[in-house]
């Protein structure tokens, strides 16, 4: 499965990383990136269940 990021998602991701670098540490930013990549890889494998309600998002990660 191909993951396509919207421009808004890319911008938010970069903003989150910048915030972590400014307010926390490089390690925190690196951990955030690693966790994001892990979730994306689970989504590519089809082991991520995601649903959204109004003003609420819920994600369940299943380890295969």
Find the DSSP H helices in 1-64: 7-23, 26-45
The string of pLDDT tens digits covering residues 42-54 is 888 877 666 666 6
pTM of the model: 0.69
Place of tokens 């910048």: 18
pLDDT score for 54? 62
Which H or E run contains 58? strand 56-61
Q: Compute the average pLDDT of residues 29-48.
A: 87
Query: Is a pLDDT exceeding 80 seen at residue 11?
Result: yes
CA trace torsion 22, 5, 9, 41 (10° rounding): -60
């Amino acid at each position: 499965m191909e993951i396509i990021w919207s421009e808004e998602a890319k911008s938010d991701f970069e903003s989150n990383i910048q915030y972590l670098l400014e307010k926390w540490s490089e390690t925190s930013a690196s951990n955030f990136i690693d966790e994001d990549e892990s979730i994306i890889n689970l989504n590519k494998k089809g082991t991520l269940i995601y649903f959204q309600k109004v003003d609420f998002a819920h994600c369940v990660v299943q380890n295969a």
